[in-house]
Structure 1
Amino acid sequence: MQIDLSHKTALVTGATGELGRVIAYTLAQCGADIIIHYHQNEAKAGKLKQQIEELGRKTIAVQADVAELDSVLRMKESVLEAGFSSPDIVVANAVSQYTWTSVLEQDSSDYVDQFNSCVLQAVHLSKVFVPAMIERQTGRIVAINTECAMQNFPTQSAYVAGKRGMDGVYRVLAKEIGEHQITVNQVAPGWTISEKDRLNHTERSESYESTVPLKRRGTDQEIANVVAFLASDLSSFITGAYIPVAGGNVMASI
């Protein structure tokens, strides 16, 4: 049994990021054509596009601000004009970076920023791409959440607020569109080893690893593998799930 995404088109937002690149490439390895979304890094989008084309997959790189509905609508228009179908799979991976600090010191604009990049991204992607899934009576939405949403550690407040708000949108969405055989799930990585860590030799963190039952950090590929599973027909009866991929560092309770 293999994950087969042949004849599927997948949109990956934030596809030029450390995790996004691996997710997009992994879905392409499974046979999907890829819509590479980027916000600012056109060069990395171009490099990823070339790598995916070398796999024999059809791909396009499209710029958009996922926090703006009009921008997401323009992204869809660009995709359709390029001869792609509306995506069968939407991976909501884009994230906004900011400086973490205490609630008392965090600038209010950081909470707005995280609301825009987490909650509004979920809303906009749904409004723009779910109608075509409903018409086809099938589809997969996979959102990237975080173990932080369960940990609630000091300095995480803006990030946690955004991701918890996103969680609420996707759980409601799963119930609203489930009758159309569209699944909506979330993958929650722990502190993940990325290509940047490999280049800088910063893969290890004994203090973090000591809290993880598997006693190591997970890899970007391990996260991408779960995304690929949830994007496939193998996960056809899973929806509304928040799935930690964190080595047991957080465990969703019953």
Structure 2
Amino acid sequence: MTESTAPAPRSVLVTGGNRGIGRAIAEAFLAQGDKVAVTSRSGGGPEGALQLTCDITVPEQVEAAYAEIEAAQGPVEVLVANAGITKDTLVLRMSEDDWSDVIDTNLTASFRLAKRAAKGMLRLRRGRIVFISSVVGLLGNPGQVNYAASKAGLVGMARSLARELGSRSITANVVAPGFVETEMTDVLTEEQRTAISDRVPLGRYAQPDEVAAAVTWLAGDGAAYVTGAVIPVDGGLGMGH
């Protein structure tokens, strides 16, 4: 591809882009030549990204982050809502705060981010929204009632947005990873890791860049006619759901 025909870099926002899956996604967009902003509560991110400290559960901080992104790299054309938390415990021990904190971060904040991004996308008459869900949102998991509910909610949100925004060439999709090699899974014992991988038809954990590849595909020209979809990156763990 010659320089004259190279696609113009897009303005991309990845939340939770300082580590793990989010960082891999941000790095993949940067490798494509896109302009990438990442947010996290603690700051940081890959080299070359606009690194912003933002608590996505605070509306004022989200608005301030969008204003800074728009000033630096233009309206957000690709939103990847990746940031999320867990507060796992059995339902009878789950407090109101355990429930609300996870729902606020994983689901409500994703609504807030998508709503704000849609303003610019509607004016541009194009855009890509990708929510990072989880196989747990499709299968359920003991001790994760709050997390599973929040991740399942992203599917309904994406499909509603797909119907609402599709006439303006804005797509909304979901990527549902299974078990991924990250800092969160590094703390598991070898016995726990083996028990998990034995449930996966491919017999291994995913690498963060394998999740990133699905995200960049959904945001690329090859997926222009894909919207309202749930793309599993789970080694076959959740097949049929």
When the two structures are superposed, what TM-score results if normalisation uses the length of structure 2? Answer: 0.90
- 2:79 — aligned with what? 90
Rounded to whole Å, the distance in 1 between the matches of 2:99 and 2:182 is 26
**Equivalent AA in structure 2 for residue 39 of structure 1:** R
Decide which of 161, 167, 171 is 1:173's aligned counterpart: 161
Q: Percent identity?
A: 29
Residue identity opposite 2:31 in structure 1: Q
- Mark the CA change 1:199 to 1:115 in structure 2 (over 3 Å): closer, same or farther: closer
Alpha-carbon displacement from aligned partner over 1:75-96 (angstroms, at most 9, x marks no partner): 1112233x32011100000112
1:56 alignment counterpart: none
Q: Choose from 222, 237, 241 the match for 1:249.
A: 237
Query: What is the aligned partner in structure 2 of residue 76 from structure 1?
Result: 66
Take 2:25 and 2:207, find their aligned partners in 1: how far apart are those partners? 12
Mapped partners of 1:199, 1:232: distance in 2? 34
Residue 165 of structure 1 and its aligned partner are, at CA, apart by 2.1
SS in 2 for 1:146: coil
Residue 69 (structure 1) shift: 2.1
Unaligned runs of 5+ in 1: 54-58
Alignment RMSD (CA, Å):
2.3
Q: How does 1:47-196 map to 2 (within 5 A)?
A: 48=46, 51=47, 53=48, 59-81=49-71, 83-98=72-87, 100-194=88-182
State the alpha-carbon separation in 1 of the partners of residues 138 and 70 from structure 2: 38
CA shift at 1:166, angstroms? 2.4
Equivalent residue number for residue 215 of structure 1? 203
Q: What is the deviation of 1:195?
A: 6.2
Residue 25 of structure 1 is matched in structure 2 by 27
AA at the equivalent of 1:118:
N
* Secondary structure of residue in 1 paired with 2:174: strand
Question: Is contact 2:70–2:76 with CA below 8 Å preserved after alignment?
Answer: no
Question: Which residue identity does 1:187 align to in structure 2?
Answer: V
* Residue aligned with 2:159, SS: helix
Q: TM-score, normalised by structure 1?
A: 0.86
How many Å separate the matches in 2 of 1:77 and 1:6? 21
Query: How far does the alpha carbon of each residue in 1:48-96 deviate from its partner, in whole angstroms, 9 at most, with x for none?
Result: 2xx2x3xxxxx31122221222221111112233x32011100000112
- What secondary structure does 1:79 align onto? helix
Is the CA contact (8 Å cut-off) linking 1:122 and 1:169 kept in structure 2?
Answer: no
Aligned-residue offset at 1:119? 1.8
**C-alpha distance in 2 between matches for 1:67 and 1:172:** 22
Work out the CA distance in 2 between the residues paired with 1:5 and 1:114.
38
Counterpart secondary structure, 1:243: strand
Q: In structure 2, how many angstroms separate the alpha carbons of the residues matched to 1:216 and 1:142?
A: 25
* C-alpha contact 1:118 1:165 (8 A) present in aligned 2: no
- Separation (CA, whole Å) in 1 of partners of 2:24 and 2:7: 16
**How many angstroms apart in 2 are the aligned matches of 1:29 and 1:249?**
29
Deviations 1:145-175 (A, max 9, x none): 0000122121011101111222222211111
Alpha-carbon deviation of 1:199?
11
Structure 1 residue 9 corresponds to structure 2 residue 11: yes
